[in-house]
Amino acid sequence: MNTKSRRRLQDWHHMLAMCLVMALISGGLAFIFLRIDFIPHPASVERGLIDNFMKMLFAIAAVFFGVIITVLAYAIIFFRQPPGDDTDARPITGNPPLEIVWTVIPLAIVIALGIYGAVVLDKMTVQSTKTTTQQSMFSLGAVIPANIPPSGVNQAALEINVTASRFAWEFEYPSYGITAYILKVPVNQTIVFNIKSKDVVHSFWVQPWGPKQDAVPGLSPDLRITPTEIGQYLVECSQLCGFDHSDMTAPVQVVSSADFEAWVKQQKTSTTTTPTGSHTMVDLVAHNLTFDKSSINVPPGSLVEINFNNQDNNISHNFAVYTDSSATIPIFVGQIISGPKTITYTFTAPTMPGKYYFRCDVHPTMMVGTFTVQ
């Protein structure tokens, strides 16, 4: 065997070894990204669709990473410059077939991902209310499960009007005629959020649900979400909207259908009771998104009169009392007023001594206090 043939055989051996290493690295990384959930567990149908898309992107990127890192390592090991060798490297001429290959392959991948992305977007925006078992375009069998709506998903979408303002969220349930400052929704039912802003650009986002939607003044975009996990979550504003942007949150509760209906009935029931017993007057001021009191003490069963002064210009506040910090059982919920304005709330304190909880429903994480009956 002459020198040229020996070198050619050696090159083929190197190429075979490089391809083997390349396949092991690329395949191993792609398998890891397809099978292991690096993203926190999804809590909605839409988030599952997005996660599958992200897994596909990571797997493709892993293949390219494996190819590039293998070729780079091969070049460093076998084509490194020997000590004292200052000669120029051998010039490389063009290779049209190779150039066509590395142009066509990325183009095909980008087109396929574009189609896949369009299918995912269609499922999220148009078909999320359907219960038919639609398979994801690139489900890859058992590798990437198609996150289709569970068989128990309710076909009828629940409509909720979301109003964003500095720095609070308001949720109106038009089909039930109630407004709340906690977002409570039934599991396995598609929710259509109609989102608007009173002032600046905000963004509605519940991280385990996946998609975000900007609230832009003058526009009314909608967002479809189908929650699949019962639990406690948080609405956050993901657009910088002012000095108190980080506190613009609202609690989210995903509950069973029965629990949701019970909550709706509770919201429709008046929380005002007939005043009896002694009379207690309290002056309470809301200013700069804080109450001037962190605790209020009243006698059991007394008539409580709250002289509420909202001093925050164009910001809504109220005063509400609940059995505890979960704010699921109201004792009294006062009317919301936009400042500057004053209002007097009147209600009867619980007859059972103990520590209760008061807050502003519009700013439930910032404006809170202890309501003590003793």
Instruction: State pLDDT tens for residues 177-202.
Output: 888 878 999 999 999 999 999 889 99
Distances 103 to 36, 69, 97, 100, 138 between C-alpha atoms, Å = 31, 19, 10, 5, 22
Give the residue among 220, 225, 218 at the shortest CA–CA distance from 189.
225
Beta-bridge mates of residue 371: 296, 356
Q: What's the confidence (pLDDT) of residue 269?
A: 62
The single residue listed with the structure tokens 């990204």 is: 33
286 φ, ψ (degrees, to nearest 5): -110, 120
Both tokens of 88, joined, read 């120029």
What average pLDDT is seen over the chain?
Answer: 83
Q: How far apart are CA 242 and CA 333, in angstroms?
A: 28
Q: What's the confidence (pLDDT) of residue 321?
A: 93
Q: What's the confidence (pLDDT) of residue 1?
A: 57
| Parts of the chain with a pLDDT under 70 | 1-4, 6-7, 10-11, 126-155, 269-277
Q: How far apart are CA 188 and CA 172, in angstroms?
A: 20
Query: What is the length of the chain?
Result: 374
Give the residue among 130, 98, 119 at the shortest CA–CA distance from 52.
119
Q: What's the confidence (pLDDT) of residue 174?
A: 93
Read off the pTM: 0.63
DSSP string, 316-370: EE--EEESSTT--SEEEEPPPEEBSEEEEEEEEPPSS-EEEEEE-SSSTTTSEEE
Angle at 332 between CA 206 and CA 248, to 5 degrees: 25
CATH topology of domain 279-373: Immunoglobulin-like (2.60.40)
Q: What's the confidence (pLDDT) of residue 277?
A: 52
Common-topology check for domains 154-268 and 279-373: yes
The domain 154-268 belongs to what CATH superfamily? Answer: Cupredoxins -  blue copper proteins (2.60.40.420)
The single residue listed with the structure tokens 């991902």 is: 113
Q: Where are the domains of the chain?
A: 11-79+98-149, 154-268, 279-373
Give the residue among 194, 196, 190, 195 at the shortest CA–CA distance from 209.
190
Beta-bridge mates of residue 332: 321
Q: What's the confidence (pLDDT) of residue 153?
A: 53
